[in-house]
Copies of this chain bind each other. A is one copy, B any other.
Amino acid sequence: MSDSYVTVNFLDPVQDLLVRVEDQMQTLTSDHHPDLEVALQHLFSSGGKRIRPAVALLTGCMLGAKSEQLVKLAAAIELLHTATLVHDDLIDGASLRRGIATLNTQWSPAATVLTGDFIFARAAKMAAETDSVEVMRIFADTLAAIVNGELVQMFSSQGVAEREHYEKRIYAKTASMFELATTAAAYLSPVNDNLVNNSRLFGYQIGMAFQIVDDVLDFTGEQQTVGKPVASDLRQGLITLPVLFYLEEYPDDPDLCSIIDGKYYSDVIIDRVVTSIQMSGAIQRSLEEANRYVDRGAGYLEELPDCQERRALEELSAYIVGRNL
């Protein structure tokens, strides 16, 4: 199944709404200082897959939300995602000083902070335009979860090889935003608490799967990220699922142990560990784990109204584990 076929297929039911989401985001780029406009244009048109807005739109359409509020929500979610990426760039730039090039050197740190803050502010404004206190509340909760996760990662994730710690980290980093997309869309719909909860659980499961696949792609090196080396997390001492599974098989690998212990390790050692992990069964086991999350997600999805949007969400789930592999 080709990538473009899948993409077109599951986005079909919300194609018009996605165009309106883009329009909402584009309106934010005008009437500012030329340098800021260029930066915003660049950020908003950098070819992201808009997977989070699509999840929100499909969920909301499935549950009968009004399109106007839904478009605001979807735009708010993509803006929130973009804002965290902007600050992440700065943070990575600082924490990757151990020999790896920073991502963004043209824009000063101060301008980067403010650009991120600006997009946060616009995200909050867009979320407020849904006119829903529940949406605002979960929006604020999600921002808190994401930032808290980043702080934990900065202060205490290096060398932690624990499954529970990993799961908390990818929840904060990624699954929280998918959960926000489905839950907030449900809040905007005329449905009961049970359906809201099933929507939430569906979002959680596919979000966890999404990040696990990202972490696999970080090892298989097929990720189309500019400037990111293979195993960028491991190079920062961050232990992801493929590493955890590899450790179960080879708990005494001296190269990996030296990385986890935070001792001196060279690029040669990292590259050797990466090759070992690539050749091991850890990649396949990680993908199976992602599939289990998607399967659980499908279970929750079955409790929701059967319609073309639900089928699109099923396909989207399949796309999450199948992309770039």
Q: Chain A: residues with CB nearer than 8 A to chain B?
A: 32-33, 35-36, 87, 90-91, 93-95, 108-111, 113-118, 120-122, 124-125, 127-129, 131-133, 136-137, 139-141, 143-144, 146-148, 150-152, 154-156
Max count, chain B CB within 10 A of own CB: residue among A117, A118, A151: A117
Taking A90-B109, A95-B110, A125-B144 as known contacts, 8 extra A-B pairs with beta carbons closer than 8 A to each other, sorted by chain A number, are: A91-B113, A91-B114, A94-B108, A110-B154, A114-B147, A118-B144, A120-B120, A124-B124
Q: CA A57 – CA B112 in complex, angstroms?
A: 35
* CB closest chain-B residue, reference A130: B133
Q: CA A133 – CA B35 in complex, angstroms?
A: 33
Residues of B within 8 A of A111 (CB): 151, 154
Q: CA A323 – CA B202 in complex, angstroms?
A: 56
* Residue in contact with A114 in the complex, picked from B117, B128, B132, B154, CB distance below 8 Å: B154
* CB closest chain-B residue, reference A142: B121
Q: CA A152 – CA B35 in complex, angstroms?
A: 11
* CB closest chain-B residue, reference A124: B140
How near does chain B come to A50, taking the closest CB pair, in angstroms? 22
How near does chain B come to A77, taking the closest CB pair, in angstroms? 15
How near does chain B come to A216, taking the closest CB pair, in angstroms? 26
Q: Would you mind naming 25 contact pairs between A and B with Cβ atoms under 8 Å apart?
A: A33-B151, A33-B152, A36-B155, A87-B114, A87-B117, A90-B109, A90-B110, A90-B113, A91-B110, A94-B108, A109-B109, A111-B154, A114-B151, A116-B117, A118-B148, A118-B151, A121-B147, A122-B144, A124-B140, A125-B137, A125-B140, A127-B140, A128-B137, A128-B140, A131-B133
Q: State the copy count for this chain.
A: 2
* Residue in contact with A125 in the complex, picked from B93, B120, B141, CB distance below 8 Å: B141
Q: A114-B91, A114-B151, A154-B114 are in contact. Are A143 and B120 (CB under 8 A)?
A: yes
Residues of B within 8 A of A90 (CB): 109-110, 113
Residues of B within 8 A of A120 (CB): 117, 120, 143, 147
Residues of B within 8 A of A140 (CB): 121, 124-125, 127-128
* CB closest chain-B residue, reference A129: B137
Q: CA A148 – CA B150 in complex, angstroms?
A: 25
Q: CA A113 – CA B127 in complex, angstroms?
A: 22
Q: CA A147 – CA B133 in complex, angstroms?
A: 24
Residues of B within 8 A of A108 (CB): 94
Q: CA A269 – CA B277 in complex, angstroms?
A: 63
Q: CA A146 – CA B87 in complex, angstroms?
A: 18
How near does chain B come to A177, taking the closest CB pair, in angstroms? 13
Residues of B within 8 A of A136 (CB): 124, 127-128, 133, 136
